[in-house]
Amino acid sequence: MLLTFSIFIPTLAGLIILFVPRKMEILQRSIALIGTAVAFALTVVVFIGFDGSTSNYQFEENWTWISSLGVNYHLAVDGISLFLVLLTTFLSMLCIISSWGSVKERIKEYHFFLLLLETGIVGVFCAMDFFLFYVFWELMLIPMYFLIGVWGGPRRIYAAVKFFLYTMTGSVLMLVGILYLYFQSIDPITGGHTFDILTITNQCNFPMGTQIWLFLAFGIAFAIKVPMFPFHTWLPDAHVEAPTAGSVILAGVLLKMGTYGFLRFCLPMFPGASLKFVPVISVLALIGILYGALVSMVQKDIKRLVAYSSVAHLGFVMLGMFAMNLQGMAGSLLQQINHGLSTGALFFLVGVIYDRRHTRLIEDYGGIAKVMPLYASLFMIVMLSSIGVPGLNGFVGEFLILLGTFKANMAYAVFGAAGVIFAAVYLLWAYQRIFFGKIVHSVNEKLRDCSPREAFILIALIIFIVLIGVYPEPFLSRMEPALQAVLNRVQDANAMVP
């Protein structure tokens, strides 16, 4: 029951916190940290015990939940979901640590919602029953809404409502698709309808017209979550207004629920339609890459710049996924992990400087490398990772994506490579304006460098950034069998097309 404990221990910790007296803030924070640390430790055990030589689902738990509706409590992980689960528990633990000094109001409620959010996201990645999956998918909305709406910036209510409405719209479309699949599937044991994802995937053999409608129902929901162009407009507002931990979780793992949905459902269940939509998805991904980079260049707010960079990076993820070859898909999945580490670290870094100055405007800084040398050094490493410099994690993911895309369509690869150049432009230019030159504002002369707590968070992230950049084999070897199984279904569908 490792997966069950990994999912629900954070919520259990959150419920305990609700009964702790409000004045005992250190105890509340400690319980939250212990809950996330235990969940992370359990997922590390899952990672160590995972057999990377097979595409089979592992650590499976399957119990009858609502027998009359064919609903089971069914959990499992494979090479696709393993790293997303690990990333979620890792970032959640760091978010609790980062909030230790920055969140000072309604601490009890803040930690409860943060822990509930972790449960929802890990549950999405582990659920192998559509009913259970949808419960976790919707559960995630509630804590994120409150984290933005209560602890966010000046326009937090607008951002929270916009995030909620966008996601709910996609969720309703996906629910219609789930219900259609439910009534088209038969449980081989009971003879009734079932929500079991594995059973439905094996029985999916729809005509092309049906596949296209189902792909749209699921795909739009996932495209909003990614977010792909033109469904991206909720993201900058949510990122900018969210507290630091909310931005980290939002960028680090919540966006990956969309890309995970494409890999888990759209490609293996509707392979014919997936092939039909390759040009559309690829073009939208390229637009996202170039648009996100160009808009990032003109941002005056450093947090909004990082937010728009996510649109560009997730465009790369979608481009590699729909290259429909193993290199592109492996790069896509690895880049999801890379983006979670690098952009999560960037939001942590923005939070560090915001806690000191309470401004995110680039023009309010300049020359602060002189007074914050450690902060400037850590920022530089993370920035180079986001750009994709060799030796760091971003390079491996982008290289594999461009390699796979080049094999599929040379023109797409050329435009994608231009996005890499633009990323270097907006990040290096922002770094120059923040850290180099003279200190124009006298208040910046008294800024204190990273505290041990802040340095610990960033160094923990940088360790994995360097590890993946230097030795990605432990990650890729566990991903590829599951990705190959998805690719085989797509290729089989392609072979059946006259």
| pLDDT (tens digit per residue) in 328-386 | 999 999 999 999 999 999 999 998 888 888 888 888 888 888 888 999 999 999 999 99
Q: Give the pair of three-digit tokens for residue 317.
A: 């993820």
DSSP, collapsed to helix, strand or coil, labels residue 405 as: helix
Measured in whole angstroms, how far is the alpha carbon of residue 461 from the centre of its chain? 15
Using CA atoms, how far apart are residues 498 and 487, in angstroms rounded to an integer?
Answer: 19
Q: Nearest to residue 455, comparing CAs of 370, 345, 364, 357?
A: 345
Sign of CA dihedral 162, 165, 167, 169: negative
Count other Cβ atoms within 10 Å, centred on residue 39. Answer: 29
Using CA atoms, how far apart are residues 247 and 95, in angstroms rounded to an integer?
Answer: 10
DSSP, collapsed to helix, strand or coil, labels residue 448 as: coil
Residue 387 · residue 424 · CB < 8 Å: yes
Residue 203 · residue 186 · CB < 8 Å: yes
Spell out the residues 6+ positions from residue 130 whose beta carbon is closer than 8 angstroms to its own.
178, 181, 182, 195, 196, 197, 200
pLDDT at 233: 83
Residue 189 · residue 199 · CB < 8 Å: no
Q: Give the pair of three-digit tokens for residue 78.
A: 């494979």
Residue 94 · residue 459 · CB < 8 Å: no
**Burial classification of residue 460, based on how many CB atoms lie within 10 Å of its CB (0-12 exposed, 13-18 middle, 19 or more buried):** middle
DSSP 443: G
What are the beta bridge partners of residue 218?
none
**DSSP string for 206-248:** --HHHHHHHHHHHHHHHHHHTTPTTS-THHHHHHHHS-HHHHH
Q: Give the pair of three-digit tokens for residue 143.
A: 């804590």
Could you tell me the CA-to-CA distances from 185 to 172, 181, 198, 307 in Å, in that order? 20, 6, 11, 40
Dihedral, CA of residue 345, residue 351, residue 353 and residue 356, to nearest 10: -150
CB-side exposure of 382: number of CA atoms within 13 Å? 27
Residue 300 · residue 362 · CB < 8 Å: yes
DSSP 66: E
Cis? peptide before 227, omega within 30° of 0: yes
- What b-and-e string marks burial along 280-293, b requiring 16 or more CB atoms within 10 Å of the CB? ebbebbbbbbbbbb
Q: Give the pair of three-digit tokens for residue 358.
A: 């309470």
Cis? peptide before 143, omega within 30° of 0: no
Q: Nearest to residue 229, comparing CAs of 426, 419, 431?
A: 419
Low pLDDT (below 50) residues in the chain: 498
DSSP 266: I
pLDDT, tens digit, 9 for 90 and up, residues 204-214:
888 888 889 99
Residue 182 · residue 69 · CB < 8 Å: no
pLDDT at 370: 87
DSSP 129: B
DSSP 391: T
pLDDT at 215: 92
Sign of CA dihedral 391, 395, 396, 397: positive
Using CA atoms, how far apart are residues 279 and 276, in angstroms rounded to an integer?
Answer: 7
DSSP 127: B
pLDDT at 495: 63
Enumerate the H helices of 267-372 as residue ranges.
267-269, 271-276, 278-297, 302-321, 326-357
pLDDT at 496: 60
